Amino acid sequence: MNTTPVAIVTGANRGIGCSIALALSAEGYNIIAIDLSFETTGAQDIDLKSLIEDSGVRFLPLQADISDIQNHQRLISEIIEEFGRIDVLVNNAGVAPLKRLDILETTTESFDQVLGVNLCGTFFLTQAVAKTMLKNIGKLPDYRPKIIFITSISAEVSSLNRAEYCISKAGLSMAAKVFADRLADSGINVYEIRPGIIQTDMTSPVKDKYDKLIAEGLIPQNRWGLPEDVAKVVVALAKGYFDYSTGMIFDVSGGMNIQRL
């Protein structure tokens, strides 16, 4: 029987997902990374496999589009065949709009793509993983699985030029809540993490805009967030430091959740 805990991280090849995968591997989790591609880029020129395996754990990259719902069961079957268990699911994968447009110009193509990945694909992957976790409740010693949704402050904060992204994250926030409610008495805790303005490839096209807003006081802690800031919270949740707090929302936004005059 495999006793090493296993974590799935979607969107793991770069940014927040990459930092989460590295942080969990450092805590002794075998890592299943799901992403569209595992090619490196100039912005993220690292060997994720080597870095994770340097922690003494196993790494399984699975190239997949999570919006392809018919492919979910194949992915899970491959994971269970290889590892026999899933201890943590981190729903991190997400896409930005095809183009930032005013809400009155939002296209159906962009809307369908963003919700297909950020909401629909994530919802049904969670459904499939939760069913698999339930089968192992009571069968594996000290098995206390966790599901973590990475949403965004955009779940609450309006952005008029990326309405589809905000809507997808608001829907994902409710998905976290209903899964937490459904699974609470089964021993599976579900959490939501809401990152603020995080320095990643997704925010790089608007870096100058946010540099200016941060300098003008947008963020109480007066700096960009880093992927590592989000990863630290994931580790705390995965390790059980908040086991009596299922359904909780954890803001990682430098204080942007504070209402100010």
Catalytic (active-site) positions: 165
**Nearest CA-CA partner of 116 in 60, 47, 178, 69:** 69
Q: How far apart are CA 129 and CA 147, in angstroms?
A: 9
Q: Which of 87, 19, 44, 82 is nearest to 226 (CA)?
A: 19
Cα 116 from chain centre = 15
Residues 6+ apart with CB under 8 A from 216: none
Strands 249-252 and 189-195, how do they pair? parallel
What are the residues whose beta carbons fall under 8 Å from the beta carbon of 104, sequence distance 6 or more? none
Q: What gap in Å lies between CA 244 and CA 246, rounded to an integer? A: 6
Residue with tokens 């005059």: 261
The helix/strand/coil state of 60 is: strand
